[in-house]
Amino acid sequence: MNICAPQLAELPPSCGFAVPTPRRQRVLAVGVIGPGRVGSALLEQLRAAQPRLARDSGLELKLCGVVASKRMWLDCDDAELNGRHGGAQIWRPNDLDAFAEHVRGNDGRHALLIDCSANDDVAAHYPRWLAAGLHVVTPNKLAGSGPLARWQAIRAACASGARFRYEATVCAGLPVVQTLRDLLDTGDALLAVEGMFSGTLAWLCNRHDGRQPFSALVREAHALGYTEPDPRDDLSGLDVARKLVILAREAGWPLSLEDVDLQGLVPSALAALSLDDFMQRLDELDAPMAAKLAEAHADGGVLRHVAHLDRHGHASVRLIVLPATHAFAHTRLTDNIVQFTTRRYCDNPLSVQGPGAGPEVTAAGVFTDLLRIAESLEARA
């Protein structure tokens, strides 16, 4: 018996020979606030990705403007803005409301603002921008960990259909917030969060083995650019507390910074000094840190700076001794690590680990949020 193949023209579309339908182009107008280290890295990533996204995903990213601390550049003033935002010939005084209106336009286009400023005044604009239909993406922790009423206003403003994403506020480019969101959205229940959220403090703990004074390590980290310009911003643990608050709120717990039991590494006598005076007296940290290290060695453990949130909403950030078998004892360099204990992941917590600092990985986390929003957009004529 002979079986003849049908003519290609007679094949049903399910056989894979259907003529492809041209992809409709989606346009996303983008405005960037804060062209600092992270913002500049993001602009470079956006510029490099534009041709590929347009070709492979049908997504056109249109950079409409950049806002710095005192000035802004708009594409209507400089058609080559995307290629030279820092050297644009025409600039205007900073005006966030006018900037947002320019990015949104009046043609019904999709528009998104990216805030890389770490500025509380900028975060205060989020509810109004979202309510007006502008999507907002940010690595700025001040929105998610600031006043609870403002956080609630931000979430309420999303009822307009605008999206607010902030993956890079916790552990830079690591998928921490999204992992927690996925767990909750699929019906899991969060029981506890524990993590090392500071790359700086992770590096200091990894290097603090007694062979050098702790102050020498802080000075080295400062010289390498691992710390903030004022190392007390890292040593205080406040930044870690902010990240813990963000995760708690993501899980639906109305936690605020003042609810966190925060034990920093800077004694009160050094906290109020000028930066120069603090750096000169940095060796006053050596004795207490040496004592903590001796305690850890006596117990056969290691020192780690850990944030913890339990099922009752109790939150703490402090330097603790962990057994040498603990997962946090084996982190490398500036690694961040987060463990989620949930109803499903109860006996063996779900871990997310990797580099949690640096402008490139932070910018990549912001870019990922932008793409997640873009995936949901419809093509508009």
What amino acid positions are annotated as catalytic residues?
243
Best CA proximity match to 362, nearest among 4, 24, 12, 36: 36
Residues 6+ apart with CB under 8 A from 15: none
38 is in an annotated binding site: yes
Residues 6+ apart with CB under 8 A from 280: none
147 is in an annotated binding site: no
36 is in an annotated binding site: yes
228 is in an annotated binding site: yes
Q: Is residue 320 within 8 Å of residue 327, measured between CB atoms?
A: no
CA dist list (Å): 81 to 39, 76, 131, 211, 363: 14, 9, 28, 51, 19
Q: How far apart are alpha carbons 373 and 164 in whole angstroms?
A: 9
Q: How far apart are alpha carbons 285 and 287 in whole angstroms?
A: 6
34 is in an annotated binding site: yes
360 is in an annotated binding site: no
Q: How far apart are alpha carbons 342 and 92 in whole angstroms?
A: 50
39 is in an annotated binding site: yes
Best CA proximity match to 111, nearest among 77, 145, 136, 84: 136
List residues forming the annotated binding site: 34-39, 141, 228
- Known binding-site positions for NADPH: 141
Binding residues for NADP(+), as ranges, are: 34-39
